[in-house]
Structure 1
Amino acid sequence: MAVIVNALTPVLALILLGFLLRRTEFIPSSFWPSAEKLTYYLLMPATLIHSLAGKEIGSSPWLNILLTVGGAIFASVLFVILGWLMRRQMGGAAFTSLFQGGVRFNTFVALALAENLFGKEGLFLASLGAGFMILIINVLCVSAFSVAVGDGVCDLKKVGRDLLRNPLIWGCALGIGINAAGVKLPSAIDGSLTLLGKAAFPVGLMAVGAAYRPGNIARHWQPLLTSCGIQFVCKPVIAWYLAAATGLSGVAAGVAVLLFSVPTAPTAYILSRQMGGDHDSMAVIITVQTCLSFFTLPLTLWLLR
């Protein structure tokens, strides 16, 4: 339990700090849109390039991990669509919050727990799985925004344009390209990316807190309830099943389930703001899921053991 508290407390603390800074007007309101833009176009891509370029796959069971995380992600997309079909009155912008709330994962929490629970081997395998997930999830989320926030029609040209213009996709592509080419980043460049990436997490979380309104929970209960069910019940079960089906065992299986048991990513709020989603409901989903995971993660870990 202490491991979970240690991993989640910084997340909640930064959300609370952003909430207090906005309510006390210690920082002008005009700061937050600029901070969100900086995070979206510079800090987050730097994080993706650094994390994906530095992974050495080697002799790890990378194919089994890819099959497990890929299968679980697409299964979660199906659950999101089913949840939306049961509540068709939900608008396109609200659907994007449901989508991100049910598909994304908090990389920081997942990696922190993996290292504390499974040591260096767990951290490496979690980083490898997270690298696969980051690319797949960003492509899916940008595609969902392109369709849902527009006229609801799947215009392949529009989706393609949005993918090509998205800085997160570019970050993933550059990171994977550098990795595949076997290029080692110079220390100066790698160090710069590391520093930029470290800024993405606190700035993004404080932006979530600044946007959070306690009264929005009742207003956005439908995407909140559905996304929590998918995130904390459906995804861990599917990940456990696929891990067993693909032959993962031991630490690798535990890490695979762990990746799909954590709350959604704070970066979902930044993407929602920049692509025209329902950022109010996204802030609610991020905050509530983070709070709930204090209770759901111990249960998941107990079942794993």
Structure 2
Amino acid sequence: MEVVARLLALLVLLLVGAGLRTTGVLDRRRVAGLNTIAYYVALPALVFVSTYDQNVADLLSVALVGGLLFVLGTTAALAWVVHRNRGSNDRSSVAIVQSYHSNLGYLGLPLVAATFDARVTAIASVVLGVVTLTQLPMTIVVLSTLNGADAALVGEIRGIVKNPVLLALIVGLAVGSAGVSIPSTVASGFDAVAALALPIALLCVGASLQVEASTIDFGAVVSVIALKICCMPILAWLVFSALGVDPATFTAAVVMLGTPTAVSTYVFAAELGGDRKFASLNVFATTLASIVTLFVLITLVS
């Protein structure tokens, strides 16, 4: 029942965010402000408090990195096979990237932190780092190549290096591995800020969701949903079971890879010639459907 309550609360916050956008309370400027708070403050705080008392050697393993890269690469390859002839390139490219590009920061990590213990959350932070460093360049290359758009890949990679969430991960792991003690008052402050990550992120996601009836391509949308929140976590389950990783690593990897399509894919689609309306629809559809699939995943791994 606790898992159901958490996911229902997640759905309520998504709907509240969408409702506040519809009524004009969360206009573009305010959504941008919330995104700034989430991206530069709350999420880095969550990553830091999850890792500052952990040794990187206990979290990062060859099996974890190899398994993540295999699942990501295999899902992307399947998406290419399924979507490569999806009508126009602008729609095909969006369908491909949205079939593997996971919402790890705004949904995955905060949900894991609210549901599982500290070790699972710490490993989920590492999953966020490894997958983000892989899926972002992949998405930029796929969209720019298929749509013939000019993508300043070097500039985008520099942006990844400056990502505050990834920087918080590096600092947290460095502090934990060095055995540096954090004063309890400082730790409590970070904990308080980290607690804001999930509600703020969900409001931002909800306020960013837009659906237009004219964009609905049921076959394409169902294919994206099937690949992203069904095939990808099932593949993760099989791969990490075969690798024999510990339960915390297994839980973190499967749940994180079972998250819906990231809202950022809509931004990349808009910048790199993708079908923006189709991208927005897929974000909405995978997020809504993931309420059910994440409940199943969390119940099974628990």
Tell me if TM exceeds 0.5: yes
User: In 1, distance between residues paired with 2:98 and 2:176?
Assistant: 27
Question: Which residue number in structure 2 is paired with residue 135 of structure 1?
Answer: 129
User: In 1, distance between residues paired with 2:99 and 2:12?
Assistant: 20
Question: Which residue number in structure 2 is paired with residue 79 of structure 1?
Answer: 78
Question: What is the aligned residue count?
Answer: 292
Pair 1:220–1:36, CA change in 2 (3 A): farther
Identify unmatched segments of 5+ residues in structure 2: none
Contact 1:36–1:207 (CA under 8 A) maintained in structure 2: yes
Which secondary structure state, in structure 1, belongs to the residue aligned with residue 182 of structure 2? coil
- Structure 1, residues 171-214: CA drift from partner, whole Å, max 9, x if none? 33323333333333333433333233222322221122223234
Question: Which residue number in structure 2 is paired with residue 212 of structure 1?
Answer: 209
Pair 1:223–1:143, CA change in 2 (3 A): farther
- Structure 1, residues 113-159: CA drift from partner, whole Å, max 9, x if none? 5x4xxxxxxx3553243122110122123324543565557866334
Identify unmatched segments of 5+ residues in structure 1: 116-122
User: In 2, distance between residues paired with 1:252 and 1:143?
Assistant: 28
- Aligned residue type for 2:200: V
- Aligned residue type for 1:71: F
Query: Normalising by structure 1, what TM-score?
Result: 0.74
CA shift at 1:12, angstroms? 0.9
User: In 2, distance between residues paired with 1:223 and 1:98?
Assistant: 10
Question: Which residue number in structure 2 is paired with residue 107 of structure 1?
Answer: 109
Pair 1:164–1:58, CA change in 2 (3 A): closer
Alignment of 1:205-244 (within 5 A): 205-215=202-212, 218-219=215-216, 224-244=221-241
User: In 2, distance between residues paired with 1:273 and 1:194?
Assistant: 30
Query: Normalising by structure 2, what TM-score?
Result: 0.74
- Structure 1, residues 83-109: CA drift from partner, whole Å, max 9, x if none? 4424372428x8468535534242344
* Percent identity for Structure 1 against Structure 2: 17
Alignment of 1:4-153 (within 5 A): 4-56=3-55, 62-87=61-86, 89-91=88-90, 95=93, 99=97, 102-104=100-102, 105=104, 106-112=108-114, 115=116, 123-124=117-118, 126-144=120-138, 146-148=140-142
User: In 1, distance between residues paired with 2:189 and 2:269?
Assistant: 27
User: In 1, distance between residues paired with 2:269 and 2:52?
Assistant: 26
- Aligned residue type for 1:208: V
